[in-house]
Structure 1
Amino acid sequence: MKRRKRFTASGTTALAVGLAACGGPGSVVIDNANIIDGTGAVWPDGRLVVVDGLVTCVGAEADCAGPSGVDVLDADGFWVVPGLIDVEDAREEPSAEQAAYMAFLLGVTTAGVREAPPGPEGEPRPPAGSDDPRIPAPRPATPVEAPERPFGIFGDALAATIPLDSGPAARGERDLRVFARSRWVLADREALLDSARAMGARGLMFAPRLLEQERWAAPYRLPHGMNRLLEHPMITERIQDRLLPGREPGEAEQLGAALEVLRAFVREFHAAGGSVSTATAGALAPGLALHEEMDALTAAGLSPEDALYAATREAARALGLERSRGTLEAGKLGDFLILESDPRVDISLTQTVSRVGKGGVLYDPPTLFDALLDSAGSRVSDNPLRMLVGGGALLLTLLLFWRGVRRHRRSLGPRLML
């Protein structure tokens, strides 16, 4: 496993930023970072200013004056990107709340979550997540695309060539699911790609859910050496070939060919000007699925930068939230990630999450990991009592961490290593 970078902050900033997680919307200045703001601009040695939870300035240090009394973090050598957005993240009960924590720690700051199923006595369940910056969980949003159209515009294009309800009725459930995902090879490929180009030219939006189809085409293998949070049982126990165990060689071949059809559609649609966004629909494990969906987009032919935009700017557009998030611009929410490496080189580097910012409140995933996940179900809520319990646990964790850091301050010099 590669050696991890160390994030630096000056003076007592580390403790102050940590305590902000218990005290409401945050204000922070990120200095000397390589900022990918999501609009197409990149700011080397740039500055990001967040005040009271909102971005007030992004750009060169000379153009972004930091307000007095606001904590300044030196992110030299790190990369700042907008928070990741999952257009549809269908979570499984009963661990939806814990899954929300895990997704957030892996960089998902907004998730499209459908209405949760009723509780044991029929009472409604709130979505797992919160808009409160003090709660380390994604902001919930309502997916736009209807569940009966799982393939969106791709399904519309396919219907013009092959009926979506075609196929023998006398099949088992498993065989029908295999057939439903492999019959795309029966489509007229040129007609399908012509549809992709026409739809893209009209500026339509499409969340292809490529990762889900990849899982049908071949068994999934967990990446190693990127983020230690992937070692958690919530991740590893869900990485299994659940959807289609024991593929027959013929089935695998058909499903692989169908995957190539979908990839070609996405590639032509995007090249023609269509908006491609990320949606995982519960594929794989929380958080990890979104990173792997971006990787699946690059396998289809998008550049790593375009895949990043799919999970930020375009995903915000798909949810109708482009005025508040998706890019780092003045007036938008201060939701962002601090990464160890440039994701434009390799999209898998989005997994090198060093900090997650939500409304200007910074969270350190490795430090908070154990405390937040041991009994996460009692904390992800807007209930004041639960928030108090969660805040107390977080404060205790940070104070213990700070105590250990102080022992080494003299040897580390004036800049505090976190």
Structure 2
Amino acid sequence: MTETKGSSTWLAVLALGLAACGGPGSIVIDNANILDGTGAAWPNGRLVVVDGVVTCLGAAADCAGPAGVDVMDADGFWVVPGLIDVMDAAGEQSEEQAAYLAFLLGVTTAAVPEVPAAPDGGPRPPTGSEDARIPAPRPAIPPDPALRPFGVFGDAIAATIPMATSGPPSRTPRDLRVFARSRWVQADREALLDSARAMGARGLAFAPQLLEQERWAAPYRLPHGMNRLLEHPMVTERIQDRLLPGRTPAEAEQLDAALDVLRDFVREFHAAGGSVSTATDGALAPGLALHEEMDALVTAGLSPEDALYAATREAARTLGLESSRGTLEPGKLGDFLILESDPRVDISLTQTVSRIGKGGVLYDPPTLFDALLDNPGSRVSDNPLRLFVGSGVLLLTLLLFWRGVRRHRRSLGPRLL
């Protein structure tokens, strides 16, 4: 990607550092293949963000950029709305590194319940910030229905087979979880699917957390080659921590059968008009989990495009935030991703994140990952002093490691300068 205003490479890096230090951004993304999240696509389109808000999207002839705003040539790249997690785990998102990693993998909004703050036990808001200068997801509170186990699926199960509180003879926490996640194979399958269609026709919302069920049904394998951040030990170690102990053949068979039931429910619910959205509940590593949840939705029967909507438009609706995000439309926040490939071809291509826009401020994931990984705390809080000091350190780091930045950009394939 080239900058059509003709600024030098050095000034582009300096501008990146200043963008992280300054206020809400204004930028024009030009010549991009834009998927706005409403179902419309704009080949060679233009996205205009002014003061953090989308002001125009469409053909270049219809969207004049304001004077003095940087124009980024995104020829050959794809622009989609920022990803939204309807429910992440409080224990994960309260960690600043976890919030930071989720953002660098494209999660621009994450809903996390408040968690107790040590030592007094008072409420502590989830890590994140609305400030475009801070590379962390915007925080949101999950809706009450998303906090009920299995959502509408649980309601349908309860109508068919009581979700008994008693478990198997061996009642270790792990055995109880296996029991709870496999018991619905005893339900009447046709009755469940009838319920799915009826609930979908009523336009209800459902965040199925399919990835979490997949994790219980079979060992998870880390995808390689899509995004170099996924190969970092901070990611692989988190995934290793979440791999479950070995299951007996009988347990594995039950969990796999239960996964088939849940997939069928999701497919019929969505086909009938239900709103399916993405929630991860802390499964696997932050950020990566949301991409894998979209992949799980495709496996269940959704198209790649519908899975993308689940993580953008439908997730925003579930959180009651559809007026400000979830799609790229005038008046909404300038939160977006620049991808190297078309995610409608293969949903795993959402992992090819080249740039992240938060309120019009562009972030380069590899650059910031290297610059801030060791001490992200001063950059992902709302404390003004920490923000000022951290921003200065960020700018200095970007200048000192310019040669490294260029190598990282080349590793992404096409150069984006």
TM beyond 0.5: yes
Q: Does the 8 Å CA contact 1:220/1:241 hold for their aligned counterparts? A: no
What code does the residue aligned with 2:152 have?
I
SS at match of 1:50: strand
Change in Cα spacing, 1:150 to 1:312, as seen in structure 2 (3 Å) is same
Q: Does the 8 Å CA contact 2:279/2:293 hold for their aligned counterparts? A: yes
CA–CA separation in structure 1 for the residues paired with 2:3 and 2:164: 58
CA–CA separation in structure 1 for the residues paired with 2:78 and 2:63: 18
Alignment of 1:109-128 (within 5 A): 109-128=108-127
Aligned to 1:16: 15
Aligned to 2:376: 376
Change in Cα spacing, 1:177 to 1:50, as seen in structure 2 (3 Å) is same
Per-residue CA deviation, residues 226-276 of structure 1 (Å, 9 max, x unaligned), is 111112222111112746311111100100000000000000000000000
CA–CA separation in structure 1 for the residues paired with 2:292 and 2:416: 31
Aligned to 1:153: 152
Alignment of 1:223-302 (within 5 A): 223-240=223-240, 242=242, 244-302=244-302
Change in Cα spacing, 1:168 to 1:241, as seen in structure 2 (3 Å) is same
SS at match of 1:160: helix
CA–CA separation in structure 2 for the residues paired with 1:176 and 1:66: 58
- Structure 1 residue 311 displacement after superposition: 0.2
Q: Does the 8 Å CA contact 1:49/1:66 hold for their aligned counterparts? A: yes
CA–CA separation in structure 1 for the residues paired with 2:350 and 2:64: 28
Aligned to 1:140: 139
Change in Cα spacing, 1:248 to 1:302, as seen in structure 2 (3 Å) is same
Per-residue CA deviation, residues 330-354 of structure 1 (Å, 9 max, x unaligned), is 0000000000000000000000000
CA–CA separation in structure 2 for the residues paired with 1:212 and 1:94: 17
CA–CA separation in structure 2 for the residues paired with 1:404 and 1:162: 58
Aligned to 1:63: 62
- Structure 1 residue 29 displacement after superposition: 0.1
Deviates more, 1:71-80 or 1:367-376: 367-376
What code does the residue aligned with 1:190 have?
E
Per-residue CA deviation, residues 170-224 of structure 1 (Å, 9 max, x unaligned), is 4312222111100111010000000000000000000000000000000001000
- Structure 1 residue 46 displacement after superposition: 0.2
User: Which protein has the bigger helix share?
Assistant: 2
Aligned to 1:358: 358
SS at match of 1:58: strand
CA–CA separation in structure 1 for the residues paired with 2:186 and 2:109: 37
What code does the residue aligned with 2:141 have?
T
SS at match of 1:89: coil
CA–CA separation in structure 1 for the residues paired with 2:392 and 2:29: 26
Q: Does the 8 Å CA contact 2:340/2:352 hold for their aligned counterparts? A: yes
Alignment of 1:18-417 (within 5 A): 18-92=17-91, 96-146=95-145, 149-165=148-164, 167-168=166-167, 170-173=169-172, 174-240=174-240, 242=242, 244-400=244-400
What code does the residue aligned with 2:84 have?
I
**Unmatched runs of 5 consecutive residues or more in structure 1:** 1-6, 407-414
- Structure 1 residue 89 displacement after superposition: 0.8
CA–CA separation in structure 2 for the residues paired with 1:272 and 1:403: 53
Per-residue CA deviation, residues 121-145 of structure 1 (Å, 9 max, x unaligned), is 4354331100000000000000003
Deviates more, 1:117-126 or 1:298-307: 117-126
What code does the residue aligned with 1:69 have?
G
SS at match of 1:292: helix
What code does the residue aligned with 1:283 have?
A
CA–CA separation in structure 1 for the residues paired with 2:379 and 2:154: 40
What code does the residue aligned with 1:248 have?
T
- Structure 1 residue 400 displacement after superposition: 3.4
Change in Cα spacing, 1:94 to 1:27, as seen in structure 2 (3 Å) is closer
- Structure 1 residue 377 displacement after superposition: 2.4
CA–CA separation in structure 2 for the residues paired with 1:145 and 1:392: 40
CA–CA separation in structure 2 for the residues paired with 1:146 and 1:416: 44
CA–CA separation in structure 2 for the residues paired with 1:209 and 1:262: 10
Q: Does the 8 Å CA contact 1:18/1:362 hold for their aligned counterparts? A: no
Aligned to 2:411: none
Change in Cα spacing, 1:141 to 1:215, as seen in structure 2 (3 Å) is same
How many pairs are equivalent?
405
Aligned to 2:409: none
Q: Does the 8 Å CA contact 1:17/1:71 hold for their aligned counterparts? A: no
CA–CA separation in structure 2 for the residues paired with 1:241 and 1:254: 23
CA–CA separation in structure 2 for the residues paired with 1:127 and 1:137: 11
Change in Cα spacing, 1:416 to 1:83, as seen in structure 2 (3 Å) is closer
CA–CA separation in structure 2 for the residues paired with 1:315 and 1:168: 33
Deviates more, 1:211-220 or 1:379-388: 379-388
- Structure 1 residue 405 displacement after superposition: 8.1
- Structure 1 residue 68 displacement after superposition: 0.5
Change in Cα spacing, 1:375 to 1:44, as seen in structure 2 (3 Å) is same
Q: Does the 8 Å CA contact 1:343/1:350 hold for their aligned counterparts? A: yes
What code does the residue aligned with 2:3 have?
A
What code does the residue aligned with 2:58 have?
G
- Structure 1 residue 395 displacement after superposition: 1.1
- Structure 1 residue 166 displacement after superposition: 5.2
- Structure 1 residue 146 displacement after superposition: 4.7
